[in-house]
């Protein structure tokens, strides 16, 4: 039996833990709790019927057909000794009674709760055409892969991570691919203009058609099937398959009326404890993954990260917070993400800043490290196909090194 501590020092037994969200963050949190010493009843609730799996390959290796379902499955050992409630949605949370309500009316009691329901893809309201897809789940990727097998041309609306990776995968499959985005460069929000332009040149050199800096007007269809996208400037981008990759929203609908503070995700303190509407942590409730928004003291700002590494690391920290209390201290990581596009591995440590300088290598050869600075401090570093060199900058970001680094 474990002990959960409130901010006031009160201790409560931790006999029953419920983890809502059975993807990476949820399963990692469950595993971390067992490692911490929790031996009580552990229940994982997930709205997908599939066993837990990795999402990053869905837009790359799995979509391309080089990996199968078995290869993307998360390896969860029997020693987890958990009750799996898969294919069941959580529809409500009563923090007073300490119960999670499931679709169908069942109420699951808890002493400790991990919220890890992730995010859902944004869609275009009113669009009901065959050939239009979002990509978030295994079922989404299976359906898209089947559609690509009979297509010759794909249009991708949104040039963020998912959009760029899908376009690169489609080009690798020999399909014509067009990228459409309201910003001037792919990955503009993540990499900024200068490095986003590098990404754009890479896509153009691999034969992708770019429509940047222009909004989409509507998705066109004929006979109930998509035929392409009409842009705000009148351009028509023909396609048999349209992939909508315009971002995600935190999956917090089921938390309405729960007493948690919801603001672009579940608002947490620095330790990953969920904050109530009165501004203090709610005892026995933590959050991790794509929907957790907390203040990272390393950068002094609120963050909500949608990256694999953060989901795994934050899950570990949230589990420790649930088990040991606030003494675990703040969650203060150096964010890290990667993206495989064509023959390039794109990696970012830290966060993008307003100042950019190439520190090593050649942008023309797309093998380089660029630093991001803010206020004279190194806050991030971007690597194109330079994994070993990039990791050295992760430590410098953590050490708050000056920019440019000396």
What DSSP string describes 209-270?
Answer: EEEES--EEEEEEETTEEEEEEETTS-EEE-SEEEE---EEE--GGGTTSSB-BSSSEEB-T
At 163 the pLDDT is 97
Per-residue pLDDT, 127:
83
For the chain, domains (ranges, CATH) are 2-120+249-328 (3.50.50.60), 123-246 (3.50.50.60), 343-398 (3.30.390.30)
- For the cut 90, the answer to whether the pLDDT of residue 91 exceeds it is yes
Q: What digits encode the pLDDT tens for the residues 217-240?
A: 999 999 999 999 999 999 999 999
| 141-195 tens-digit pLDDT | 999 999 999 999 999 999 999 999 999 999 999 999 999 999 999 999 999 999 9
Both tokens of 151, joined, read 């297509």
Q: How many CB atoms lie within 10 A of CB 234?
A: 8
Q: Between the CA of residue 153 and those of 131, 177, 226, what are the distances in Å?
A: 11, 6, 11
Q: Are 42 and 15 in contact (CB under 8 A)?
A: no
**pLDDT tens-place string over residues 102-116:** 999 999 999 999 999
Task: Look at residue 1 and tell me whether its pLDDT is greater than 50.
Answer: no
Tokens describing residue 319: 């589990």
**pLDDT value for 145:** 98
At residue 260's C-alpha, the angle toward residues 257 and 263, to 5°, is 100
The encoded tokens of residue 289 equal 């993954």
Check pLDDT > 80 for residue 366. Answer: yes
For residue 12, the model assigns a pLDDT of 56
pTM of the model: 0.94
């Amino acid at each position: 039996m474990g002990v959960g501590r409130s901010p006031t020092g009160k201790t409560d037994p931790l006999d029953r833990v419920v983890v809502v969200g059975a993807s990476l963050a949820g399963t990692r949190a469950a595993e971390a709790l067992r490692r911490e010493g929790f031996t009580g009843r552990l229940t994982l609730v997930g709205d997908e019927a599939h066993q837990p799996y990795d999402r990053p390959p869905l837009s790359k290796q799995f979509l391309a057909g080089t990996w199968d379902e078995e290869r993307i499955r998360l390896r969860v050992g029997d020693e987890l000794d958990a009750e799996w409630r898969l294919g069941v949605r959580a529809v409500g949370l009563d923090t007073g009674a300490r119960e999670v309500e499931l679709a169908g009316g069942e109420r699951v009691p808890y002493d400790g709760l991990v919220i890890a329901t992730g995010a859902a893809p944004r869609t275009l309201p009113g669009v009901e055409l065959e050939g239009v897809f979002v990509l978030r789940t295994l079922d989404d990727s299976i359906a898209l892969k089947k559609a690509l097998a009979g297509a010759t041309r794909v249009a991708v609306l949104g040039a963020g991570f998912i959009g760029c990776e899908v376009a690169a995968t489609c080009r690798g499959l020999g399909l014509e691919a067009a990228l459409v985005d309201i910003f001037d460069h792919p990955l503009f929000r993540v990499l900024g203009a200068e490095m986003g332009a590098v990404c754009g040149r890479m896509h153009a050199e691999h034969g992708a058609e770019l429509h940047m800096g222009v909004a989409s007007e509507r998705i066109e269809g004929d006979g109930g099937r998509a035929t392409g996208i009409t842009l705000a400037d009148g351009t028509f981008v023909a396609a048999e398959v349209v992939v909508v990759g315009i971002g995600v929203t935190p999956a917090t609908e089921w938390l309405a009326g729960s007493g948690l503070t919801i603001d672009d995700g579940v608002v947490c303190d620095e330790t990953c404890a969920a904050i109530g509407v009165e501004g203090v942590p709610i005892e026995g409730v933590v959050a991790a993954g794509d929907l957790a928004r907390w203040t990272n003291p390393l950068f002094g700002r609120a963050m909500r990260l949608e990256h694999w590494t953060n989901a795994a690391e934050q899950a570990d920290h949230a589990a420790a917070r649930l088990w040991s209390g606030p003494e675990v201290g703040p969650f203060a990581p150096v964010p890290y993400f990667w993206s495989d596009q064509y023959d390039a591995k794109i990696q970012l440590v830290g966060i993008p800043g307003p100042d950019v300088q190439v520190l090593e290598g050649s942008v023309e050869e797309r093998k380089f490290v660029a630093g991001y600075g803010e206020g004279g401090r190194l806050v991030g570093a971007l690597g194109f196909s330079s994994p070993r060199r990039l990791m050295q900058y992760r430590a410098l970001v953590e050490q708050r090194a000056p920019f440019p680094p000396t």
